[in-house]
Amino acid sequence: MKPGRQRLDKWLWFARFARTRTLAARLVEGGYVRVNGRRAEAAATAIAVGDVVTVAAAHTTALVRVLDLGERRGGAPEAQTLYAALDAPPG
């Protein structure tokens, strides 16, 4: 992978959108994830800082901008530093 890029499934796992990396890959392959408005076709799709990711989960849809790629899966506060919610109400 090129510098400044990361696999989509890995980022979804780091950002805690999925409990495991396998589940993150299933989200992508099931068509529940878009990157910059285009459906992600493979878990290995490369993302970079500034990309907009849409995740359609069971009960909600998250629209976020990638702020950092991350190096490990940490706690929730650490995961929330990896993205900025674009669908959250201002406040």
CB neighbours of 5 closer than 8 A, spacing ≥ 6?
Answer: 46, 47, 48, 69
Looking at residue 13, its pLDDT comes to 97
Please tell me what DSSP assigns to residue 56: E
Evaluate whether residue 44 is within a structural domain.
Answer: yes
Q: Which band of pLDDT confidence, cut at 50, 70 and 90, is reported for residue 89?
A: low
Evaluate whether residue 90 is within a structural domain.
Answer: no
Measure the CA–CA gap between 40 and 37, rounded to whole angstroms. Answer: 9
Q: What global pTM score does this model have?
A: 0.91
User: Could you give the number of structural domains in the chain?
Assistant: 1
The pLDDT tens digits for 54-76 are 999 878 899 999 999 999 999 99
Tell me, what CATH number does 18's domain have? 3.10.290.10
